[in-house]
Structure 1
Amino acid sequence: MKVVFAGTPEFAACALRALIEDGFEVPLVLTQPDRPAGRGMQLQASPVKQVALEHAIPVLQPLSLRMDAKDPERAAQATAAHETLLALDYDLMVVAAYGLILPKSTLDIKPCINIHGSLLPRWRGAAPIHRAIEAGDRETGVTIMQMEEGLDTGPMLAMEAIAIDDADTTGSLHDKLAALGARMIVESLRRYAGLKPAPQPEQGVTYAAKISKDEAKLDLHLPAAGLARKVRAFNPFPGAQAQVNGVAIKIWKAEAIDGSGAAGQVLAADARQGIVVACGQGALRLTELQKPGGKRLPAAEFLKGFPLEKLAFD
C-alpha cells in the first residue's frame, strides 16, 4: 500500500514514523510551511517534515489546498499540489493534525483517513486533548475515520479508549494518544480492506475550539476544581496565568483543595503547602510557577522573590 501522509506536529510525526517502520511506502508528505521558532525566531521545519527528510521522502508545503483561494499565491500552490496528487501513484492519504482544511477536490482523488485524538463524536475540532482535560472527562482516545467535507464528521473505522489520569496534562496525554494513534493507524491499514465504516452517533457531539491565549488567564472567582483542570489543560500551551502583584505569572501545576476566603486571597504560602489561594469555591494550591523571562520554579523557590506579606493576586 502506498500512503501519502499529511500532518505537521509531533502527534502526526509519531504516526509517520510508525508507517515507515512497518514498511508502508510513503511517496509524498504534505506539511505546513516552515515557521519561525525559538529565541532567534529561525525558520524551523515541522516534526513531520523532519521525519520525511530523514527518510528522503519528497515534501510539499503549500499554504493552502484550496484552488479557489482568493490569494493568488495560495491558489497557485494549491493547484500545484492538486496536480501533483493527481499524477502520483498512491492508494490513500493518511491525515493527522495537518492544520489545513482538505477541500472536496483533494478528498475526491483517493480515500483520506484521519487520526483524531478523541472518541468521536465527542470533541470534533482543533483541540480535543485540551478540551477533554478542561471538561473533566475521565477517558478519551483515538478514532480512525474516513474524511469527508464536514468537520470530523466522517464514518469511523476504529476507536480505542484510554483513561485520563488525575495528573495528566495536555502534554502527557498528547504523548499517550500519539503513541496510540501511531499503533492504530498501522493496524487499521494492515486490515483496511476488511474494515467496515460505521457512522458516528448523532448524540454526544461536542466541538473542541482552537485554544486562544486569551483563555489563559485564571478567573479566581470560579470554582477551584475547574481552574485546576484548566492549569492541566493549558500545560504546555499556552500556560495558565494569574496576576500576582500586577505581574502575569504562569501557573504550571496546581490542585483544588478545601478552603474559603475572598477570591484571590492568599490563605497560605510556604515551602510545605505551596501557595494556597481562595477561589469562588474552594481553594487552589499552586506548586509550580514561572515569572516572565524566568524558569519554572517550585513554590518554595518562587516565594523567595515574592514574600508572603507582599504576595497579592489581582
Structure 2
Amino acid sequence: MRILLAGTPAFAKIAFENLLHCAHTDTESLTLEIIGLLTQPDRIFGRKKELKAPETKEFVRSLFPDIPIFQPQRIDTHTIESIKALQPDMILVVAFGQILPQAFLDIAPCLNLHASILPNLRGASPIQEMILAQPKFFGVSVMQMELGLDCGAILGVGYVENCGENLYTLSTRLAQRGAQVLWGVLKRLRTHSLVPLEQNNADSSYCTKITRQDGLITLKNAQEVYYKYLAYYGWPSVFVESGLKFTHIVGFEAQGFYKEGEIIKILAHSALIGCRQGYLEIASVQPPNKKEMPINAYLVGARLQEGACLL
C-alpha cells in the first residue's frame, strides 16, 4: 500500500513511528510503502531565532532520505498535482495543521487520527481539554476525512486510562494507542470488513487553539490550577499575573482555605502555596526573563518566608 504521510508535531511523529513498528512486527501481509511527507514549513523557534524543522520531517528524513517532503505555506494546485503524481493509495493525516481542501481529499482516501472520542472535542486542542475535564479514560479516533472540521465517519477508536499525566506524557501514550488503532483500520479496510460509523453532529463539542493567555491563573482553587498545569505543560505553562511561572507542581490538596499565594510551609525541596480553596506543592518556578529555579532558591532571593505572600 502506497502511503503519503501528512503531519507536523511530535504527536504525529510518534504516531507514524509506532505505525511503522506495527507494520514491521505484524505477521499480516500488509506492506506500507511510504512515498512522501506533507508537513508544515520550517519555523523560527526560540530566543535565538533558529530555523526548526517539524519533528515529522526529521523523522522521515532519518528513515527515508530519498522520498519527497512537501512544506507548502498552503495547499495549492502545485502541491496537489505533485502529490497526485506519486499515486498514493492512502493518505494518513495526523495533526497536520492546515484545513485540507476538497481537491486534496480527492487525491486518495484520507484517514485522520484525532486525539479524542469523536464527535466530542473536535478541533485543535482535544488533549488539553480532556486533561482539564479529567475523565476516567482518554481516547483517540480514526475517521474518514471529509470537508469540515473532524466530522468524517468513524473507522476506529481506542482508549487509555487516566493516570494523572501531563500533556507531554499523555500525548505520547495517545499517539502510540492511535497508531495501533490506525494499523487495525488499515488491515480491515484491506479486507473490506469495516463499516464506517457516521458521527452524530448533535452530540458534537469543539475546542479552540491554545493561546498564551490560557496559562494565566489565579490561586482560587488548587485542583483547577493543578489540572491546568498538567494540560498546559511545556507551553504556555501556568503563570500568575506577575509573570512568575509554576514550572513544576508536585501535587495539590483540595481541602482547606488559605490566602491566595500564602507561603504555608517551606519544605526541603518544595513549598506549600495556599489557594482560596486548597494548596499547591510547588518545586520550581521561573521568574520573567530568567531561568527556571528551585522555589526554595527563589524564596531566598526574594526574601520571602513562611506566612508571606508569593504573589
TM-score normalized by structure 1? 0.87
Structure-to-structure mapping, 1:25-104, within 5 angstroms: 25-54=33-62, 55-56=64-65, 57-65=67-75, 78-104=76-102
Q: State the SS of the aligned residue for 2:88.
A: coil
Is the CA contact (8 Å cut-off) linking 1:18 and 1:186 kept in structure 2? no
1:282 Cα deviation after fit = 2.5
The match for 2:178 is 181
Letter in 2 for 1:238: P
Is the CA contact (8 Å cut-off) linking 1:275 and 1:287 kept in structure 2? no
Is the CA contact (8 Å cut-off) linking 2:153 and 2:197 kept in structure 1? yes
Q: State the SS of the aligned residue for 1:308.
A: coil
The match for 2:27 is none
Q: State the SS of the aligned residue for 1:144.
A: strand
Is the CA contact (8 Å cut-off) linking 2:129 and 2:231 kept in structure 1? yes
The match for 2:148 is 150
Where structure 1 has 5 or more consecutive residues not aligned to the other structure, the ranges are: 66-77
Letter in 2 for 1:291: P
- Per-residue CA deviations over 1:187-235 (Å, capped at 9, x if unaligned) read 22122232211112345422121110011111223x2211111111110
The match for 1:9 is 9
The match for 1:194 is 193
The match for 2:239 is 241
The match for 2:219 is 220
Is the CA contact (8 Å cut-off) linking 1:139 and 1:162 kept in structure 2? yes
Q: State the SS of the aligned residue for 2:235.
A: coil
1:155 Cα deviation after fit = 0.8
Is the CA contact (8 Å cut-off) linking 2:263 and 2:271 kept in structure 1? no
Is the CA contact (8 Å cut-off) linking 1:232 and 1:252 kept in structure 2? no
Is the CA contact (8 Å cut-off) linking 1:241 and 1:249 kept in structure 2? yes
Is the CA contact (8 Å cut-off) linking 2:271 and 2:296 kept in structure 1? yes
Letter in 2 for 1:12: A
Aligned CA RMSD, in angstroms, stands at 2.2
The match for 1:265 is 262
Identity rate of aligned residues, in percent? 32
The one of 286, 292, 307 equivalent to 2:303 is 307
Distance 1:111 1:165 in 2: 35
Is the CA contact (8 Å cut-off) linking 1:239 and 1:252 kept in structure 2? no
Where structure 2 has 5 or more consecutive residues not aligned to the other structure, the ranges are: 24-30
